[in-house]
Every structure is written in C-alpha cells, then in structure tokens.
Chain A
Amino acid sequence: SQQGEEDPQALSIQEGENATMNCSYKTSINNLQWYRQNSGRGLVHLILIRSNEREKHSGRLRVTLDTSKKSSSLLITASRAADTASYFCATDAGGAQKLVFGQGTRLTINP
C-alpha cells in the first residue's frame, strides 16, 4: 500500500492565492520529498526535507515536516497559472533506496 496519504485530493484556487497541500505517512523516514507532475508527464523534483529539519524554503515553496505527527505540508505562495499540476509527496520508507509516493493533490490555478 502507498506510504503517503495526501489531502486534499484536488484543490482549485485563484491566481495569486496561496496553496497548501498536506501529506501524512506511516513509518519512520530519513527524508520526505515533493514532486510535481504536469498533465501526465514525468515528475520533477521540487524539494527534499530531512527528518531532522522542520522547515525548508525554495523560492515560492515552503515545506514543513512534523515527524511527531508523521506529516508534511507544501505551501506554494502567490500561485500562478503555471503551477497547475499534480503534486506528490514521497518518502524513503520503502527501504533499499526506494521512494514510496503518496496519492497526490491535483492543483488547479484559475486565472
């Protein structure tokens, strides 16, 4: 079964607003990663946060990690139409250098 559970499954907001997506996982991890997928294409790595980190920033992205709650959030600030995509969290709980992906959040930014 998938390690990560994400919510919401779908999110639709207006351009310029902030988008927040959440990910929960079940077992201990070394790191958690977020990926973006545009319309059925390949995934692109966005950001990686280690288990000993609580928050990380990259441009308009902010990721938090709460290992006590086994959860992470991805915040996209000042959203743009080009941010429309599916976003997946992934953890290394699969072992042997394997990543296990969550179900994903489908984000739509309305102009």
Chain B
Amino acid sequence: SAVISQKPSRDICQRGTSLTIQCQVDSQVTMMFWYRQQPGQSLTLIATANQGSEATYESGFVIDKFPISRPNLTFSTLTVSNMSPEDSSIYLCSVLKTWTGGSTGELFFGEGSRLTVL
C-alpha cells in the first residue's frame, strides 16, 4: 500500500491567483496522477507525472494552466494558475500500484485538496 499526503486539504482562493498543491508519498513510485473532481462529478485525469520527464497532459488540460513538478520519486506538485470560479474542484493526487503482469493495477489516492475560487 501507499500513504499519500496532500496539502492543503482545502483553501479559498481569489480569482486570478495561483495555488500550488503538494503531494507526498511514503514510498518511491514511478507514476503519479493528478485528477480533478468538479462538484458532484466524477474524476477527470489532468496529467500523468513521471520523475525525470515532462508531465503528460490529457485533452483539455495545458501546462500553462496546470504546471506540474516531479522532482523525485516521492513528491509532486500541481499548480492551478490564474484561477477562476470554474476551477473550484477537488484535486486528487494518486499513485499506481502496478501488477507484475503489466496491466493497470489499483490506484492509491490522497485525501484531496478542495479549492473554492471566489
């Protein structure tokens, strides 16, 4: 298993500002994922962050809006830039527990960071 700590757990932000969310894992992991969950909705993958390489963004998400750092195998940050009320969501960090068989295994999630943008 993996224990994932996210900070902040929640924040209220002003329009036009930026906020960086931190994700700390208690063990070394290759792949980390950042998801967004808008109010009452399901999870949408923002990007995949691998250590030592640029993050890979999903359709509809761009690096200028959601810059990601992955300086080592236990830590990552997601910045939500130039925020607007539409960015009010829960942002979730997750890591992959990969099967030896190579198929996608289960994900471990942090508790999430609930952002409210006024």
Contact = CB atoms under 8 A, between A and B. Distances in A.
Interface of A: 2, 30-31, 33, 35, 40-45, 48, 50, 88, 90, 92, 94, 96-104
B111 interface: yes
Given A42-B111, A43-B92, 16 more contacts: A31-B104, A41-B111, A42-B110, A43-B43, A43-B109, A45-B106, A48-B105, A96-B48, A97-B96, A98-B48, A99-B107, A101-B44, A102-B42, A103-B41, A103-B42, A104-B42
Contacts of B4: 42
Interface residues of B, number: 25
Contact of B104 (A41, A98, A104): A98
Interface string B94-107: 10101000011111
Question: Would you call the interface of chain B mostly helix, strand, loop, or mixed?
Answer: strand
B38 to A, nearest CB: 11
B59 to A, nearest CB: 10
Contact of A41 (B33, B44, B103, B112): B112
A30 B43 contact: no
Given A43-B92, A103-B42, A92 B104 contact: yes
28 contacts: A30-B104, A33-B106, A40-B114, A41-B111, A42-B4, A42-B92, A42-B110, A42-B112, A43-B92, A43-B109, A44-B109, A45-B106, A45-B108, A48-B106, A88-B43, A94-B45, A94-B104, A97-B31, A97-B104, A98-B45, A98-B48, A98-B104, A100-B45, A101-B42, A101-B43, A101-B44, A103-B41, A104-B42
A104 B31 CA distance: 25
B96 A40 contact: no
A97 B109 contact: no
Contact of B90 (A33, A40, A88, A102): A40
A95 B31 CA distance: 14
Contacts of A100: 45
